[in-house]
Amino acid sequence: MNINTKPPRRFANYVNGKDQDGRQRETFESTNPTTGAAFGSFVESSPADVDAAVQAARAAFDGPWRKLSPTRRGRLLMRWGDLIADNAEKIATIETEQNGKLIGEMRLQARVVQDWLYYFGGLADKIEGRVVPLDRTSVLNYTVNEPLGVVAAIVPWNSPTFLTIMTVAPALAAGNTVVIKPSEVTSASAIELARLAEQAGIPEGVINVVTGGRAAGEALVDHPLVAKVSFTGSDSAGRAIAARAGQRLVSCMLELGGKSANIVFDDADLDQVEAGVLAGIFAAAGQTCVAGSRAYFQKGIYDRLVGRLIERAGKIRVGDPLKADTQMGPVATAAQLAKDESMVARAVEDGAKILAGGQRRRVEGLDGGFFYAPTILGNTKPDAFIMQNEVFGPVLCVTPFETEEEVLALANGTRFGLAAGLWTADLRRAHLMARGLQAGTVWINTYRAMAFNSPFGGFKNSGIGRLNGAEAIQSFLQTKSVWCELSRDVQDPFVLKA
């Protein structure tokens, strides 16, 4: 019997500081993956709804937001961060009820974004140009870095608050305004964030939220006043969005999928490795772009380490993610659950062996939930579908290797290059391997570490551009070159020659 004590809530778009129902009155429902019951009803935004949000963002960009000093904008971002942290429990509960991830992880993410908003708020008044030393002293040339305008932020369901702030913090610090299009799976938290921004004193129209599916996203990407598109999601969707934006010569920030390798050498601390490998794939039910879904263990420790992982996988407490003792919740949607099943079934057809899990998990009292058992597969070929494509579920593929050269080729043998982990006591090996791995982030003797001041992004099909760090803010700026003639040089009347 399902547990569902809360009636579905109704949410409107949040545009120009106000709730706005859809022009066509169309809605969609999201589902609580723990119970299978409806969570809430949201606006299925039409192109007219999207236009209203973009127009509001553009008006705020041309008006109150641009008139604020960079220092003042930065302080408002910091205040927003304080309010999000103060409301972390509420935001985390909303997200867990929408995507099924552990309440502890969602709570931590809602609290830690305060650091992101403090960091980028502090950078807001440190965006500087430079004076160019020309060979003509009669001319002054300097550069200024200016905001682009309206930024479209299309964000995913797996870490909605965290990934939204990773995008909008540098965009706002640079002086832009934003329209957020959250995933249909987790639309509620973005609306809560926008409300808190208004409470922080951020002017109306600076942050707007429109909900809906593909049509709303396409209308946002196509809008002539959108100057930049930031998208986090699958590589197939990223290619489609980039192609669409490219028709208007608009650039994209893309943080896409991964098929991350987690490499363990035989001199590694196996207790540390066991915890790191399990957390890298099962802590978020595999629902993270950096999930360590391909594990490579040197042959000397392969059998022993795999045995330990199988034993631990069988003991993982799968259940209600709102309970403190739960170690893994459901996957976010019925479609994701079906994908997990189909990809594991296909892997078995391709010759893989199920070492643990491999089926749905029944949880007492939550019969309608989307639970899948922590799964470990062996005997997976490098070119198998499951080794080349993102599952986004709790599925780990384990493979033995002998040499550094062999495992480097295996690790780099996908179209993805978002992240990689390696475990070894050999410092020389660690840094040589890090140099050879084709990934935007490499973790040595740890996994899933991230910080506001360290750039994050992918190689190859895992994305374009960088979030976090000072590099991120540059993606939301454009450089203007200003020339000023100080005095006329009669010997050389032409300052510039074609």
The residues annotated with a catalytic role in the active site are 255, 289
Half-sphere exposure of 112 (CA within 13 A, CB side): 15
CB 196 within 8 A of CB 84: yes
CA angle centred on 245, ends 240 and 248, rounded to 5°:
145
CB 291 within 8 A of CB 260: yes
DSSP code string of 43-83:
E---HHHHHHHHHHHHHHHHTHHHHS-HHHHHHHHHHHHHH
Q: Are strands 177-181 and 130-131 parallel, antiparallel or unpaired?
A: unpaired
Of 340, 279, 369, residue with least CA distance to 96: 369
**Amino acid letter, 329:** G
Of 116, 112, 18, residue with least CA distance to 74: 116
CB 125 within 8 A of CB 153: no
Angle between helices 88-99 and 70-86 (to 10 degrees): 70
What's phi and psi for 13, nearest 5 deg?
A: -65, 160
Residue that is written with structure tokens 């996957």 in the block: 331
* Consecutive H or E run containing 103: helix 103-123
Rg (CA), the chain: 24
CA distance 498 to 489: 18
CA distance 43 to 25: 7
The DSSP secondary-structure symbol of 7 reads P
